[in-house]
Structure 1
Amino acid sequence: MTDARLDMALRQLGPEDWSAFEKFAAEFLVVDYPSLRTMASMSGDRGRDGQLYQPNEEQTTFIQYSVTENWAAKITGTIATLKKNFGGTFRLIYATNQKVGPNADNLVAEQRKVGFEVDVRDRSWFVERAHTHEQRTVASNDLARQFVDPLLASAGLAPRVARPLGPAEARVALIHLALDSVDRRDNQGITRSAFEALVRSVMHDTNAGLTMTVDEIITQTVALVPAGDPAQVEAQVRSALARLSKKGPIKQMRGTDEYRLSFQEQERVRNQSAAVLTSEQDLLDELRARISVLDGIDESRAIAAASDLRVAMDTWLLRRGEAFASAVLTGEVTDFDPRTLESLLSPVEGGPSVDALISIVGETLAAPSVATRTYLSNLASAYTLFSFLRQTPDVQKAMLNVFQGGKIWLDTNVLLPLLSERLEENATQRYFTSLIQAARDAGASLYVTDGVIEELLKHISRSLNCARTIPTSWEGAVPYLFGMYAASGRGRSQMVEWLETFRGETYPEDDLALYLEEEHGIIGQDLGAVANEASPELRAAVQEFWVQTHEDRRKQWGHETDQTLVLRLASHDVTSSIGVTQLRGKTPVGPMGFEHWWLTLDRAAFRLSSWLRDRIGEEAAPKSPALNPDFLVELLRLRQVRSSVERELQVPLPTMANYLRFAAIPISVVEVADKERAALIGLDERVIQRRVRQKVDEIRWERGTALIDSVYDR
């Protein structure tokens, strides 16, 4: 089992802590090498901190303990000193608190060629063996108590996490909600587990010498759930205490109403809290690394920008959680505009631009590294759950009213990115593919209308025409599919073959419908007849809304108003929005408890409800059936509806969509991709595609929000 406290302790060690590390490492190594002798002395150690004693033989195995970051130079220098002082060949065991891993392979191989064996024992080596021997366990605990445990108390933990939340108690509560998402079993109610997490958070610092009364626990928990009925919150707290004390994590002091965490629970909380802080540092390092590759950004500015960006990301996740909770409780789904992130950023002179920072946030949240993926997912869930608890203590009841049955109609602007993800070789980057699969795992039924099939086919035809046209002769916006195809680095001549994945020439409608059904479980089912059942007043108002929306868009894009096209597009949106609304009316469940939804990226769809209220009145205006893909992610993540699916088989959900990757590609970027391909002719095709993608990504990062503003050209 990985020891997160030891991992964090080793990360904390600096140059001034060399003695503590030397003592710790020696305790570890002596288990395998009982003859180990420490050689450090005031008069000098001749290049080694320790050696293995072998009577009547030349010393051939030496030990070097080091906390320096530049481990390669240290190893090379140590070998040079040993060669000078001892000659011959030897083995060097290099013990370090740094993470080295396979990065040392080349150095080890080079030294082996000249007769020197180098055995690197890095941070991972120590952490993986922390509990393989009693002596190692004691050494690990001693180091953790000295360098980590003070940071894991509430006073030390709060300043490092959830900075958008003011009170320290709220920050610690968020961490426990995040920890709870790791341990929660699928069959446990969200409200029950949430209150158990809150109780653990207020008791975070308790131990045998520091207990809390029931009244103190209730008072502090009530403060974390301000909108709840105090009596209801008290009941939840008492119930959580009863469960936890029965199961063992919390102990009741005999004959009193005082409680404390059990010793085992204290160890668990400390270890998991250390894991949180370690993941937080990994995330900061990831942001710094992404920022450092930008031109003209030095290390100090990259570190400062990463810290500021981390706070902005937390604020973003909190606001998104608040928006989601509000939607569930009020029944009014809103579109959470990714451009609002811009207002949270305060770039410094000489640092990254706002557009570059927004790009980095999008990339990090949509496709985090392996080290931070689970952490970000749990953190996003914790912010959403925390937002719920601020508004209602009964999260379970609120969530039960959502997504009953799950019948979802997909809009064209959701299916286009789904098709384009066939270009993405890395499965972890396929946001919509993962989302659709997760929805199916949850038992949702997915549908597509005839109108959407028609729009997709017309878009495919326009994409093919664009591929056959030189950029300077193309008029209008670049079709989304062709833009993504060009951005993937592929050549225009192969696009005909790629598009045959979705449809042929003879029966294109049937081919595309069959592809969606076989590949993604999306069934064709028209809503025209259902939509026609709506009142003439509602149909006329919705028709007016969508016609005006499409006319305004064409003017915005600089297109001539093709009234026939506008009416056709509007008709499809009318059918989807009214059709799903009519189905809702046949099966009402609760305030927001509809089983029928319209999954769309179209921001206009989220304005429809308020527009209708102004147009036809509050009572006649239905709530918009539109659902944002990111909200669907939260529904799937929090609802825990996938109880029948084993955890290891569940599709990993992204933290959020990277909207920058779903934005339309301008013709200027297509020209850059064409020129880049032409300049690389003769290289391996994979190399060409990789370099073109890199070039396009650079432009995406530079333009940031300017690209997000674009709308799919359907």
Structure 2
Amino acid sequence: MSLHRKRFTLALERIQPTDWARFEQFASAFLTSEFDNLRTVASPSGDEGRDAELFSPTSEPEIVLQYSVTKHWTTKIRDTAKKVKKNLTHARQLLYVTNQQIGADGDGLKKELRTKYQLILDIRDSSFFLDRYEGDDHREAVAENLARDIVDPFLESKDVIQKKAQALTTAESRAALVFLELQWQDDGREKGLTKTAFDALVRTALRGTNPDYRLTRNQVYDLVKKIIPTDDIAFLIAETDKSLSRLNKNFIRHYPNDEFCLSHEENIRLKSRIAEVEINDQELVNDITNALKAVIPEVELADNGNLLSYLSICRISMEKFLLQRGELFVSALENGQLQHLEYGSVKRIVQDELKIPNINEEQLTNRLATVIERVLTDPSISTASYLRGIADAYTFLAFLRQTPDIQSAVKKMFSTGEIWIDTSIVLPLLAEDLLPEENWQFRKLILAAKNAGLKIKVTPGVIEEVERHINRSQTCYGLVNSGQESWDGSYPYLFSFFISTGSAQSFFSKWLENFRGNIRPEDDVSEYLKHFFSIEMTDISIDAQKADLEIRNLVKETWVNIHTNRRNRSNNGFDPLLSLRLAEHDTENYLGVIVRRQHESEKAFGYTSWWLTLDHKAFEIKPMIEQSSKIKIPLAPVMSADFLANYLAFGPLRGKVAKNMHGALPVAIDPGLVEYLSPELLEIAKSVRLSAKDKPEHVIRRDVRDALDNARRRQGDITNKGLNSVFDS
């Protein structure tokens, strides 16, 4: 089995200053296939600035090498060049060999050494080794030896598992989560969920085993029971036996006395996979750290103890939130009642974890919750798939705790369907036109649903709201751009989103033309959605009119109150006609979908018609009406975006979702995370863009985004204001 790139990468990253001699040994052996006359010259008495040279029988060496593991490579290179120039006057080339990642950051030094010392600098960094070890038997053997010495002891230790799965408490459950994540990534989506889960549990139980350390069948049973305590022991034993049989020969070894261990090949494979998890985990830590630096004042993070404490709180709070989401999803399948997990729970989790004295706890809670929300909803490209894997693993664990027979549980869910989307979904779909594909959330979700065979639909009422919002955004831009009249209320969502990306304000009108023209704007919006997302406009009002008149009036009245209260709270003024119109559209969607269900299964998740919305108030309609009027109404037809993402990952249609698309499903979506743009922030964006006018456009956009991030941090908790910018049409 060839050395896995991630395992070698982790070995290079984990080389410590005390491992300098081991790195020199590795680097010299690696380079001998390129330089057969390489001579190591480092000695305790001094090496005149180099660790090795290319042997020259007639003169001083012209090519010298410096091995180093220091992170301060700039200083090290300069010091080495100075010594070489002084002591080795014939030297013409310096090869700087390091485990650090330098890349293009070293270009300036190359020019400096060429000008100042007449030395050609050739940097051999971690990328050099990673790009050249494969396909060369000698180099691969040298790299494998380094991985065995540096990283394998770490991968075999308990620490590598104990630092993962922070929402869990026992060592077995933490290990199980890691192995569930790996198994889910490795298996095809056509494989039964129960099989995937138990294959992961058996691997968890057998981790660390080998021919000299084996477990009996009963010991495997006991370890699986520790992970998923259940009253159905017969089912657990039967599925464990099936898994032991499936994994036999290829992945585990079965001995005559009914003992088991992982095969040598499987142990090596798992080390490589865990090395991959470790690297991804460090990238997640970097994401959280960067978000902390964007949200928490610099002076507060100057104390490294604060940074580490905040990092720990964010990590465990994030994972507890993902566990709660998984539990809510599984609970919904069990009791037939879909609930909405609000992001307010993030703050509550942070409050429980926050045990730091002498700090304004409410302010810090808001800031740390904002950090978690940013990382979950807008992760870096490198961590997005990893976060999705963690979220799925927690959902798997929630399934196992509730019902080990996962496959039977998901069979309750619909396998065909139509999803009606509202304005809160459509507007982000339009806004993401400004983002690169890797940063899409809503678009990936809708495209994955379409890929799975679901029909995505929208009503004429929603098209009207979207067009009115675009028009309102254009009007806002005109007033703000003219400077003659101020805008009353919060800026519309599309305008806020456009400015927040750092885009030039003068191009806003041109951008809106992507979605609609001036003659038949609503038709243009409908055509855009159909062309790019296969979203069909279908009138559902006739269905809504078939609902019981009393229920129809109660639903509409409830929606009118919701929209009226929302506008009163946002100080946008009271417009009864607008509230009435929005309420009519929401009632149309809510009741229209209910009526279309009348000839479908009565099981909650057997229904094929759903209304997808970000408005959490939609989940409260049924209990609000039943509490005030005592009239029973049908099950709510509402689905959250988070639920849809989990449905696409675990539901009956998961096999139809391309594996690469599954990994791209958003981890978390919430309307409260639409960031509010105040007049003060708009002025900052203008000022930064003006001062940076001579820079390239992509740099200007970055400067504007960074400036807005810093300003938002000073303004404090603002995400709650963002919801109104979506729903104000």
Q: Same fold (TM over 0.5)?
A: yes
Q: Tell me which residue corresponds to 1:209.
A: 212
Amino acid at match of 2:520: Y
Residue 627 of structure 1 is aligned with which of 623, 639, 646?
Answer: 639
Other-structure match for 1:375: 386
Per the TM alignment, residue 570 of structure 1 is displaced from its structure 2 partner at its CA by 1.3
* TM-superposition CA deviations, 1:212-256 (whole Å, max 9, x none): 11111122112222246221111111111111105x101101x22
1: CA distance, partners of 2:359 / 2:84: 45
Secondary structure, in 3 states, of the residue corresponding to 2:298? coil
Match of 1:622, SS state, is coil
Q: What does residue 412 of structure 1 align with?
A: 423
For 2:183 and 2:425, how far apart are their aligned partners in 1?
32
| Alignment check: 8 A CA contact 2:615 2:671 kept | no
Aligned pairs for 1:673-684 within 5 A? 673-674=685-686, 676=688
Residue of 71, 74, 77 corresponding to 1:72? 74
Equivalent residue number for residue 695 of structure 1: 707
Q: What pairs up with 1:171-190 in 2 under 5 angstroms?
A: 171-190=174-193
* Partner residue in 1 for 2:239: 236
Paired residues of 1:356 and 1:703 also in contact (CA < 8 A): no
* Counterpart residue number, 1:570: 583
Aligned-pair identity (%): 34
- Equivalent residues, number: 710
Residues 34, 183 of structure 1: alpha-carbon distance in 2 compared, 3 angstrom cutoff: same
Query: For the residues of structure 2 that align with 1:383 and 1:458, how far apart are their CA atoms?
Result: 41
Give the Cα separation in 2 of the matches to 1:392 and 1:484: 42
Q: Which residue type is aligned with residue 318 of structure 2? A: M
* Aligned match for 1:361, one of 359, 368, 372: 372
**Alignment partners' CA distance in 2, 1:414 and 1:590:** 26
SS at match of 2:723: coil
* Correspondence for 2:571 among 558, 580, 605: 558
Give the C-alpha shift of residue 513 in structure 1: 1.1
Spell out the pairing of 1:23-34 with structure 2 (5 A cutoff). Answer: 23-34=25-36
Distance in 2 (alpha carbons) for counterparts of 1:83 and 1:336: 65
Q: CA RMSD in A?
A: 2.8
Aligned residue in 2 for 1:48:
50
Distance 1:68 1:493 in 2: 48
CA contact (8 A) 1:228 1:393 kept: no
Q: Which residue of 2 aligns with 1:311?
A: 316
Distance 1:684 1:188 in 2: 49
Q: Answer with 638-647 or 151-160: which moved more.
A: 638-647
- Larger mean Cα displacement after TM superposition, 73-82 or 226-235: 226-235
* Alignment equivalent of 1:251, drawn from 250, 253, 258: 253
Measure how far apart 1:82 and its partner are. Answer: 1.4
Q: Which residue of 2 aligns with 1:108?
A: 110
Q: Contact conserved, 2:194 with 2:406, CA < 8 A, in 1?
A: yes
- Secondary structure of residue in 2 paired with 1:64: strand
Q: Quick check: 1:318–1:383 contact (8 Å CA) kept in 2?
A: yes
Report the CA distance between 1:518 and its aligned residue: 0.9
Instruction: Note closer, same or farther for the CA distance 1:62–1:445 as it changes in structure 2 (3 Å cut).
Output: same
Query: Deviation of residue 488 (structure 1)?
Result: 3.9
Provide closer, same or farther for how the CA distance between residues 641 and 703 of structure 1 changes in structure 2, counting only shifts above 3 A. farther
Please give the residue correspondences for 1:579-598 in structure 2 after superposition, counting only pairs within 5 Å: 579-588=592-601, 590-598=603-611
Paired residue type of 1:706: I
d(CA) in 1 for partners of 2:638, 2:55: 74
Matches within 5 A, 1:2-151: 2-113=4-115, 115-151=118-154
The verdict on how the C-alpha distance between 1:44 and 1:703 changes in structure 2, with shifts beyond 3 A counting, is same
Measured after TM superposition, the shift of residue 167 of structure 1 is 0.4
Moved more, 45-54 or 338-347: 338-347
CA distance in 2, matches of 1:391, 1:689: 48
The residue type equivalent to 1:430 in the other structure is W
Cα separation, 1, equivalents of 2:131 and 2:616: 49
Please state whether the residue corresponding to 2:649 is helix, strand or coil: helix
Q: 1:460 aligns with which of 462, 470, 475?
A: 470
Shift of 1:687: 5.6
Shift of 1:709: 4.6
Summarize the alignment of residues 471-482 of structure 1 with structure 2, pairs less than 5 Å apart: 473-482=486-495
Q: How far apart, CA to CA, are the structure 1 residues paired with 2:374 and 2:254?
A: 47
Contact in 1 for aligned 2:389/2:663 (Cα 8 Å): no
CA drift at 1:465: 2.1
The answer as to whether partners of 1:488 and 1:689 remain within 8 angstroms in 2 is yes
d(CA) in 2 for partners of 1:698, 1:658: 22
Partner secondary structure for residue 162 of structure 1: coil
- Say if 2:674 and 2:719, in contact at 8 Å, map to a contact too: no
Q: What is the one-letter code of the residue matched to 1:298?
A: A
Whether contact under 8 Å (2:415, 2:653) holds in the other structure is no
> Are 2:551 and 1:538 equivalent residues in the alignment?
yes
Deviation at 1:175, TM superposition (A): 0.6
Structure 2 residue identity aligned to 1:454: E
In structure 2, the residue matched to 1:333 is 338
Query: Residue 567 of structure 2 aligns to a residue in which SS?
Result: helix
- CA displacement at 1:63 relative to structure 2: 2.4
Q: Secondary structure at the match of 1:120?
A: strand
TM-score by length of 2: 0.90
Aligned equivalent of 2:649, options 603, 620, 637: 637
Contact 1:154–1:172 (Cα < 8 Å) also in 2: no
Q: CA deviation at 1:666?
A: 3.5
Separation in 2 of the partners of 1:493 and 1:41? 65
Equivalent residue, structure 2, for 1:421:
432
Aligned mates of 1:529, 1:599 — CA distance in 2: 19
Aligned equivalent of 2:668: 656
The verdict on how the C-alpha distance between 1:493 and 1:67 changes in structure 2, with shifts beyond 3 A counting, is: closer
Q: CA deviation at 1:98?
A: 1.6
Per the alignment, residue 441 of structure 2 pairs with 431
**What is the Cα deviation at residue 405 of structure 1?**
1.3
Establish whether residue 711 from structure 1 lines up as the match of residue 723 from structure 2.
yes
Instruction: Please report how far the alpha carbon of residue 161 of structure 1 lies from its aligned counterpart in structure 2 after TM superposition.
Output: 0.8
- CA 1:123/1:638 → structure 2, altered by over 3 Å: closer, same or farther? farther
CA gap of 1:360–1:158, structure 2 versus 1, over 3 A, is: same
Taking the aligned partners of 1:133 and 1:492, their CA distance within structure 2 comes to 54
Residue 94 of structure 1 aligns to a residue in which SS?
A: strand
The farther-off stretch of 25-34 and 126-135 is: 126-135
The equivalent of 2:263 in structure 1 is: 262
Cα distance change on mapping 1:132 and 1:606 into 2, 3 Å: same
State the Cα deviation string for residues 12-56 of structure 1 (Å, max 9, x = none). 222222122222222222233333222222322222222222333
Q: CA shift at 1:208, angstroms?
A: 0.9
Stretches of structure 2 lacking an aligned partner (at least 5 in a row): none
The Cα shift of 1:199 comes to 0.8
User: What's the counterpart of residue 325 of structure 2?
Assistant: 320
Instruction: Say if 1:441 and 1:650, in contact at 8 Å, map to a contact too.
Output: no
Q: Which moved more, 1:100-109 or 1:681-690?
A: 681-690
Contact persistence 1:226–1:391 (CA under 8 A): no
Residue 517 of structure 1, aligned match among 519, 523, 530: 530
Q: Is the 2:11–2:146 contact (alpha carbons within 8 Å) kept by the matching residues of 1?
A: yes
TM-score when scaled to structure 1? Answer: 0.92
Q: Secondary structure at the match of 2:614?
A: coil
One-letter code aligned to 1:409: W
The alpha-carbon distance between structure 1 residues 279 and 648, as it changes in their structure 2 partners (threshold 3 A), is closer
More off after superposition, 195-204 vs 372-381: 372-381
Unaligned runs of 5+ in 1: none
- Deviations, residues 571-598 of structure 1 (Å, cap 9, x unaligned): 1111111111222232227442322111
Give 1:706 shift. Answer: 2.7
Aligned-partner SS, 1:601: coil
Distance 1:501 1:456 in 2: 13
- Name the structure 2 match of 1:446: 456
Which deviates further from its counterpart, 646-655 or 400-409?
A: 646-655
Please give the alpha-carbon distance, in whole angstroms, between the structure 1 residues aligned to 2:567 and 2:293. 40
- In the alignment, is the contact (CA less than 8 A) between 2:411 and 2:652 conserved in 1? no
* CA distance in structure 2 between the partners assigned to 1:13 and 1:430 by the alignment: 36
Distance in 2 of aligned mates of 1:683 and 1:83: 38
Contact 2:675 2:718 in 1 (8 A): no
Displacement of 1:615 in angstroms is 4.7
Distance verdict in 2 for CA 1:289–1:668, change over 3 Å:
closer
